[in-house]
Structure 1
Amino acid sequence: MPKNVAIVADRISWEERQLIQAAPALGLHVDWINDESLCLGDPGAPAVQSYDALLVRSRSYTRGGLVATLAESAGIPVLNTARAINACENKAVLRTVLRDAGVPVPDFRLVLSRKDFEKALEELGVPVVLKPIFGGMGKRVTLIRDTDTAQSVYDYVEDLGHAFEQACLVEPFLAGGSSVRCLVAGHDIVAAAEFTSAGTDWRSNAALGNRSSAIAHDPEVVKIVDAVVNELGAGIYGVDLFRTDDGLVVNEVNHAPAFKGVASTTGADIPTAIASYVQELIA
């Protein structure tokens, strides 16, 4: 009898379609449930009670943690755990959790006001990167190269952002233009690729279509990813690392990672690896 799994997401993208196609071969039946239709809160959670597990892949920066928290309370296994999702959704929380666990992360300052912003510039100097605490795919990440434009840039944060969008991080600009993305299922790295900025765009994000190449699982990468998983718990993650003169640092961890770019670069069968981990977890 197939196990029933629900992918909880705001929409179906390439990744979700691949997971749905890979599932039957591993004894899983997978449905998509829109994360706006669950109406959780009832202890019995009738919208999801018939599922053996939920795979939370909401792109929202607030919904995933809420869904996971209430589903876990109703006794439904959730991937990833509510604790892990809540940490990954918030860059300031994630970096603090990892740093406290001894995982290397970039230096940063929390910016909630112009006064914070000016203090961060004073402490870190330029160039710096300004990024939203809630966000992904390189959106609204801004490189500030000199103090002449810094205040004008912050005008956009202050005047156009809603309350939670005004919460930002400021961090030193790590020159080099490359990052490593690792796709993790359970405790293991399934695939790893290096992305390098192309053209005039300084950002090295897979969603931006930059140059990429498969990389071997070098010991430093494995050690850091193991430390991340040990802190957040086994799960399905996209772990992004930056190369620096002092070694690798963890930029962010995505709890609902896109993996089309890494899959096409490495040839790894990521959907089957994820489905296998889900099957093992609920067998």
Structure 2
Amino acid sequence: MARSRALILIEGHPRCTGLLYVQAAQRLGLHPIVLSADPSRYDYIAAEGIEAIRVDTDNVDALTRECSQLHAAHDIAGITSDIESVYATVGKLCQYFDLPGPNPRSIERCCDKFIQRQLLAEAGAPIPSYRLATNVTDVESAAAEIGLPVILKPTVGAGGRGVRLCCNVGELVEHTTYLLGGKHIWRSSPRILVEEYAQGPYYWADIMGDQVVGIGTGETRPSSHFVCTLPAPLTDDAHERIVDVSLSCLRALGLGWGPTGIEFRWTERGPVVIEVNPRLHGTPTPQLIQLAYGIDLITEHIKLATGDEWDLRRRHEQTAAAQILVPDRDGTLDWIGGDSRATAIPGVAEVKLYAKSKTPIVRNGDNRDWIGHVIATSPSSGNAAAIVQKAVDLIGWSISPFPALGK
């Protein structure tokens, strides 16, 4: 009996990109197998009938043993993940099994935001001023040197968790206490990065290998909804400057295999690097790039991970826009709906609601707050954004306040 070609997926994003990796693997004729510390986190595993194995994904030896056992029944074509926290482990597994994969040492250095900042500074990349802190005194001293406002963030983490703009000493103390007081979950020794607040328009670049595939832009509107557009409306000079800085980041950090996502603010100095992520940006970026250019970055990443030939050629060029839906209050979600009407609008490519009725809503100020997204496409930039807004206006929800304590 022929052995199936298996793609091992270490964890995955529970809401969106994890499922996209599973579906892309299946389209490529691969048998996806998810290794997870808690497979029940992923609704799509049961819904799609995906093989999943419970294993400690923080333990390289346990993962190596599990993959070795799987190798007895399958031809392991590749091992990958869309989760930053396990991507260095993916690189180690790929080295062990002689499979294509990222350099684990480069991934580890990149995932430590302090080390990342040091390497970028040494290479002369444009970055905000920064300091490392481990207590309130360090934070206050660093903020005084840099000048308020500043950004506080854990040196290790993703999804905006623990990241906050602090405009005064009170906010500094409050957020430092939150980070170090036991409420924030640390994957390593608690260390805080204190950074200059780089003000200006937000851009991001998505890269595969050493090729900048797309540059997008985004903004947070007064309603707290995050709106993004790809491609970003840039002059040729501005586009070239972002590409040049992106490639210099790859060289400085020893990246250049597989996906990289870089975030910028355009300041008086030009593009300033806010963060380099050794992975694809999450939803809705892969969908935007596929709609705008006809390039399925997730499929091409899997091809790279399995040693197959990849193709980053653009099939077409149009504008794609998305809006992330974020609640404006805490409480119990009574109902959410309107997605079917929004989907029916011409130009709307995707409407997804993550939250279900009766779900408790407790805002964290990061991507855990997202309750849905709308994506649309059009030949023109303004029209794509208008289509998204028209669809968003048809989506509604109601949130009831939590009962007061003692009542």
2:248 alignment partner AA? A
Quote the offset at 1:193 in angstroms.
1.3
Residue pair 2:215, 2:231 contacting (<8 A) in 1 also: yes
Give 1:205's aligned residue. none
Quote the offset at 1:3 in angstroms.
4.7
Q: Does 1:273 align with 2:296?
A: no
TM-score, scaled relative to structure 1? 0.81
Residue pair 1:106, 1:249 contacting (<8 A) in 2 also: yes
Give 2:272's aligned residue. 249
Q: 1:251 to 1:2 in 2, by over 3 A?
A: farther
1:219 alignment partner AA? E
- What CA distance in whole angstroms lies between the structure 2 residues aligned with 1:58 and 1:263? 14
TM-score, scaled relative to structure 2? 0.58
Query: What do you get for the CA RMSD once the two structures are aligned?
Result: 3.0
Q: 1:19 to 1:191 in 2, by over 3 A?
A: farther
- What CA distance in whole angstroms lies between the structure 2 residues aligned with 1:158 and 1:45? 34
Give 2:190's aligned residue. 166
Quote the offset at 1:25 in angstroms.
4.8
2:134 alignment partner AA? L
Give 2:134's aligned residue. 112
**Correspondence for 1:221 among 233, 242, 250:** 242
Quote the offset at 1:123 in angstroms.
0.7
Give 2:284's aligned residue. 261
Give 2:9's aligned residue. 7
Length, aligned pairs only: 271
Per-residue displacement from partner, 1:213-244 (whole Å, max 9, x unpaired)?
11258111211222223332322122212211
Give 2:79's aligned residue. 54
Q: 1:45 to 1:271 in 2, by over 3 A?
A: closer
Unaligned runs of 5+ in 1: 202-208
Q: 1:104 to 1:241 in 2, by over 3 A?
A: same
SS at match of 1:48: helix
Residue pair 1:120, 1:170 contacting (<8 A) in 2 also: yes
Written as runs of structure 1 = structure 2, the 5 A alignment for 1:1-283 is: 3-9=5-11, 12-26=14-28, 28-34=30-36, 37=55, 40-41=60-61, 45-49=64-68, 50=71, 51-58=76-83, 61=85, 63-69=86-92, 71-72=93-94, 74-77=96-99, 79-160=101-182, 161=184, 164=188, 166-176=190-200, 178-199=201-222, 209-215=225-231, 218-230=239-251, 231-266=254-289, 267=291, 268=293, 269-280=296-307
The structure having more radius of gyration, on CA atoms, is: 2
Unaligned runs of 5+ in 2: 38-53, 311-407
RCO (CA 8 Å, sep 6+): is it higher in 1 or 2? 1
2:191 alignment partner AA? A
- What CA distance in whole angstroms lies between the structure 2 residues aligned with 1:47 and 1:257? 26
- What CA distance in whole angstroms lies between the structure 2 residues aligned with 1:243 and 1:16? 31
- What CA distance in whole angstroms lies between the structure 2 residues aligned with 1:282 and 1:3? 16
Residue pair 1:6, 1:30 contacting (<8 A) in 2 also: yes
Residue pair 1:28, 1:279 contacting (<8 A) in 2 also: no
